[in-house]
Amino acid sequence: MDDAPDTPIPGAAWLALKARTAARIALGRSGGSLPTRPLLDFQLAHARARDAVHAPFDSGSLALQAAQSDVPVTCVQSRATDRTTYLQRPDLGRRLDSPSRERLAALHAQPADVAFVIADGLSTRAAERHALPVVALASTVLASWGWTMAPLIIATQSRVALGDEIGALLNAGLVAMLIGERPGLSADDSLGIYLTHAPSIGRTDTERNCISNIRPGGLTYAEAAHKLLYLLREARAGGLTGVALKDDSDRVMRLVGPDA
């Protein structure tokens, strides 16, 4: 039998550690349960995570914001016709529906160095809040390097691999998929970037590089853009992405200013 006393309020040493992490530590105890406050906080975090997964994706608003910056943009949809189907059939989220495929094919896109895709993934909030600022920072530097960029694509009901088909249709040498990551109980709006060289249907996850945890309290937009630019440059130079391409971006001069 556990004779430890109830500790509804953690001690000072635990509180000092708790202040340095978003992890759920030093919650205290009340009998065999959590005290009321951390229990309610847990339930709120769980509700926010569920909402982030199921919230409708406002692709139209994102497209309007991009268009206001004179960025050509096209919206597409996967073969998952609704959110329930998307969650139950991941395979359908990896392929474009017929109208979207025809729309991209009709662009007759000229070969481009890179294509950016913003996708809802498992957190629509992440894509809506964080993707465009990262794309804007990276695009500015890429333009100064003389890189060519395909039209921006905004994808609904999308899995990471949808970027492979999109990149192939856009004749892009590289595709960067900015997608909402699976929400956790300490972050419901974390954005990930998946970079793939020579995108085509059938690419595997071992052929991608991932930059994750882009959000307030995680990786800043400038830090994410710096990592992405480093990987883009190295991927084009080496003709590869994935396990063979290591992220050594912390060893080189910042490609995007810290206050960007």
Q: Which fold has domain 58-251?
A: Rossmann fold (3.40.50)
> Which sign does the torsion angle of CA 209, 213, 90, 99 carry?
negative
| Edge-to-edge strand list for the sheet holding 208-214 | 73-77, 152-156, 112-119, 172-180, 191-197, 208-214
Chain segment 125-137, per-residue pLDDT in tens: 999 999 999 999 9
Report which residue type is found at 165. Answer: E
Chain segment 97-116, per-residue pLDDT in tens: 999 999 999 998 899 999 99
- H-helix or E-strand spanning residue 15: helix 12-18
List the chain domain ranges.
Answer: 58-251
> Which sign does the torsion angle of CA 77, 120, 95, 102 carry?
positive
Q: What is the spatial distance between Cα 242 and Cα 206, in angstroms, rounded to a whole number?
A: 5
Report DSSP state, residue 36: H
Global pTM reads 0.88
* Contact present, 194 and 174 (Cβ < 8 Å): no
pLDDT the model gives residue 8: 56
Q: What is the residue-averaged pLDDT of the chain?
A: 91
